[in-house]
Chains A and B, each alone.
Chain A
Amino acid sequence: MGLNTALGTSISGLRNAQVGIGVVSQNVANAGTPGYVRRTISNVDSISGSTVGVSNPNVQRLLDRIVQHQLLQESSGAAYTSTRAQVFANLDKLYGAPGSATALDSMYSKFTSSLQALQNDPSSYTNRTAVLDAASLLANRLRGLSDGVQQQRAQAEAGIGAAVTRTNELLEQLTDVNARIVNAQQSSGTADLRDQRDRIISELSQYVEIRTDERPNGSVSIATASGTQLFDGRPTVKFEFDARANIGPQSQWSADPAQRSVGTIVARDLSGNSFDAIANNTFRSGEIGALIELRDKTLVQAQKQLDEIAAQLSSALSDREIAGTAVTAGAATGFDVDLNGLQAGNSVTLDYKVTPGGQTQRFTFVRVDSAASLPLPASAQGDANNRVIGIDFSGGPASVAAQMQAAVGPGFTVSNTGSVLRIVDDGAAGTRDVVGLTARPTQTSLTGGTGELPFFVDGRSNAAYTGSYEGGAQSVGFASRIAVNPDLIADRSRLVIYNTSPATPQGDTTRPNFLYDRLTSSQRSFTNSTGFDGSTATSTGTVSSLVQRVVAGQGQASEQAKRLDEGQQVAFASVQSRFLEDTKVNVDEEMSTLIELQSAYAANARVISTVKELLDVLMRL
């Protein structure tokens, strides 16, 4: 090995140290740049001919691929939970601060206490006004809450639109960066491009839960967690979102485009084929997934709970309970009840026991006025102990009895005399015992000899709420339309006077007592659409308890969303911290590398100078 070899090696060492110092300076300069991944150089010994050198200093990005994949996953999870937590927190705020005058439950309590005051002094104008004021405030609150829920849905709709647009943009940007990485694969300049690509992918992961896969040529392919290919050198799908402007309680997503009244995401592939990404469940997590879930499930559920409160509040005050009169037909016993006055949506309940000594079970027959309204929507269905059956009344009383007979099966005999329905058990056979038959027609006028009155009306028609299923369930979005009967506001004496001839005395407590009892002590069946605690069974309770359960349930859900988000953020932070540990620039480390490189440079220079001295000595010989 001659001096020349030493000289050559030293020169390559110098070059190497220069590159190293360059990388150190780049690392130090970019120490604060987000998404910057620390670079290192790897040296390769090269022997070309007789020269042994340090050549091809290769600048490499230092990162852990597994941690990076985890980070992408956690970041979409974090976007999902934080979006949900945010909306839940907003929703929870709508329900008001605990114990404050604006909280839904306080307003409800105020309404019941005003009725309580009215009981004590029914003739007082002040008390009557107080009842109507409290009722109006409560109705307003329900409408306000309902509007709030729908606003959140509209925001979710807009959010989906923005997120979809951004996703498309990111995929486009990725195409360009990705192509340049593939082209520059052999040169050392890809590190910056890779940083940029990672930044784009990481933003994409906030919207969609993705998996990335790097090809040998440096190109990246991206698929959603659900398996839809998004990108492979170029975007393989383009998302389209047809945002709708007016989102209301009736606006629902459906796989059937004719029934859909909110936007859906259509994914269109390169060959122009398209599929509904929401129906395909493409977005399970990430911001888009969260927004879709909020818009189509969570907030819809919140609206249903409000609707249930509004519907129960209305029906409790307006539905008469007409108990059947006992009859015997031979050995069979049962009841007669007059179905006259039953309106669309009103129900007749048949309580029976499977003898001997069985539990009381119930059939609920709901009036509908056309066969088109059958079968009843899923939200109206009952459970094993309370089967809810729609009965088409358009065919007259005989047809009604026939439909009921078909529904209850043998063991009962259903017959009619005009509008009077008779249901008796099977007498001597003793397999069924009819214990009650009750019709619940809605009182539609303010007077008429009973305590019931249409206190609240459906703002759409200013008519009493009957829970009709004609042309869509009346209960849907009722919370956004509930209003105090304007006729009652115009003549508030109707809060007390239930009969005009003979006129009810102004101080009569019958009606105030009735209204108060119906709200605070009458047991009512709630439809399964309220879905408390994930249960789908119908449940019973007072209207007061329903209000409390809804508010508590909402608080519970909100708290749960918050906890979930907190947990997810911790997980995200820890993965992020692990990722940073690998990728972030440690200036101290860089400085020590610098010292190292500096000494290496000095040493190499020293070798060159030594070689020079040796050569000089040689020359002087």
Chain B
Amino acid sequence: MTITATGTGAYRLADRSQFVSMRGQLDDLQRQLATQKKSETYAGLGMDRGVSLDLNNKLSMLDGYLTGIQRADVNLKLMTKAVENFTKLAGETRADARPDSYVETSTGRTSPQVLAEEKFKQTLDLLNSQVNGRYLFSGRTSDVEPTVSYSLIMDGDATHAGLKQLISERKQADIGAGGMGRLVTGGAGTNATIAEEAAGLPYGFKLTGATSSTAAMTAAYNAGPPADIAVNVAAQPQAGDMLKFALTLPDGSTEEITLTARAAGTTGDPAEGFLIGVDANATAANLRTAIGAALSREAKTSLSASSAQVAAKDFFAGSPGNPPLRVPGPPFDTATAAPAPGTSANTVIWYQGDDAAGSARATASVQVDQGQQVAAGARANEEAFRTGLAQFAIMAAETFPTTDPNSKLRYEAMTERVRNNIGFAPGTQNPSEIIVELGSAQTAMAQAKERHTATKDYLSTTLAGVEDITKEEVAMQILALQTTLQASYQTTSMLSQLRLTNYL
């Protein structure tokens, strides 16, 4: 500050604006203390403005990532929980569905079946979980509830066929009008034949082989198509001699029908053996009857259970873009054409979510970093869920009336298949795979979060260094300025007193 000996009175500051500017500085420092910011404009930040802009942008991005991670974390935890619950339910059903657990009941349903129905409903609820209106198991269509209701799935409505209807249709088609799994039996004299109804028929039993334990009876298997078996009773068999016919069922399981020759006058299960007659012709006639009875019983038990498996599998494979396969008909029991997709107008489509090609995990993603997307989607129609739901549904749908003599065998056939399938055979998707995948997504997110939090802390500190004041520094500046200003005022005041006028 220059003091010039000119001006009003004796002395005054050469530039009054010096006082004004010091006052201005003081006001600005005061503002800095109040706002804790160095400047109110980018101009005031000086060369650091670029740093400030860049850091603010980076922080905003990091905040975005962190918010995304936080939200997705909730979703992933809920999804994992749901899949874990489902795994538990499947495990329980596997334990429940023991073939020896058949108990006659007035309702025709055993307690494992009643439990399976509850589990089915519970699984549907799990798959319909939502967070903030977002369905977690609906893939890309996260606004659509992925599954329809239990009653619609099972019973359908006036225009849409439900699962029970589809199972029934499939059973009719497999068992056939003759009740022998679309096989035709015949023969005369010493011969007995079994043949498939038609070549390449997609329903019913498939003959895969025949053996005889004795040279007295020959069993010739002809692979066809259509495959057939011709048995010739060349000589009288001995009691205990056996004929075996191998059958493949629609669900891929195999059954073997064993017919044992019994001595005349003995009694036995008509579907498991035949009496040795007076001559080869009479024995053959008995054999023919036994074949009919055996096939008929097999059709009503294992074939029926197998049909239910196939129908349920087809039903749960259905999705909006790919309606479930149905047996063409009616009539169903004489159907020859392969199952064809139904339409959304006549068949219940249990899964309403996204069914585009590609991995279910890729249907939702979380941007956790500039170039890192974590896949965190899931769909209710993933194989593991479909398998589980189909088994629960079969258990829930079937009834075993006490009046039906085949109930026990049919129950055993059903539970055996349910047990096998709900154990998630190797080569099929296991729910634990989903849990592992979701878990790895969580891990990736946790790592990204840790990284971002550390970066954010560092950037915030740097930004504070650029934008924020140091209180001590500002306080010191204020003190220094105050001292200078006071000294200036004092000096000016003193100088103004020094006038020659006073001494004249």
Contacts and interface: CB of A to CB of B under 8 A. Distances in A.
B367 A505 contact: no
Given A109-B61, A506-B143, A120 B366 contact: yes
A40 interface: no
Contacts of A581: 4, 6
A232 to B, nearest CB: 34
B138 interface: yes
Given A98-B45, A505-B141, A554-B42, A584 B7 contact: yes
B500 interface: yes
Residue among B5, B17, B71, B500 with the most chain A CB within 10 A?
A: B500
Nearest to A570: B15
Interface stretch (B46-54, B89-97, B218-226, B478-486): B46-54
Nearest to A559: B43
B134 A93 contact: no
24 contacts: A31-B8, A95-B41, A99-B52, A99-B463, A106-B56, A113-B64, A116-B64, A117-B71, A125-B133, A126-B132, A506-B141, A506-B142, A555-B43, A555-B49, A556-B43, A556-B49, A558-B41, A587-B8, A587-B9, A587-B10, A587-B499, A588-B499, A588-B500, A591-B499
A291 to B, nearest CB: 20
A544 B60 CA distance: 12
Nearest to B43: A558
A98 B56 contact: yes
B64 A93 contact: no
Interface string A12-54: 0000000000000000000110000000000000000000000
B219 to A, nearest CB: 55
The bracket for how many chain B residues form the interface is: 35 or more
A551 interface: yes
B463 to A, nearest CB: 7
A109 B500 contact: no
Interface string A97-127: 1110001011001101100110111111110
Contacts of B500: 587-588, 591-592
Interface residues of A, number: 59
A223 interface: no
A434 B102 CA distance: 78
Contacts of A32: 8
A124 B43 contact: no
A577 B2 contact: yes
B57 A544 contact: yes
Interface in B370-418: 370
Contacts of B354: 505, 507
Contact of B60 (A109, A123, A552, A588): A109
Contacts of A509: 140, 364-365
Contacts of B64: 112-113, 116-117
B363 interface: yes
B139 interface: yes
Nearest to A126: B132
Contacts of A97: 37, 39-41
Contact of A120 (B15, B43, B140, B365): B365
A585 B6 contact: yes
A89 B43 contact: yes
B198 interface: no
A548 interface: yes
A98 B132 contact: no
Interface in B1-57: 2, 4-10, 14-15, 17, 37, 39-46, 49-50, 52-54, 56-57
B37 A116 contact: no
A195 interface: no
Interface in B49-99: 49-50, 52-54, 56-57, 60-61, 63-65, 67-68, 71-72
Nearest to B42: A555
Interface string B310-343: 0000000000000000000000000000000000
A577 to B, nearest CB: 4
Given A505-B356, A506-B140, A577-B2, A105 B7 contact: no
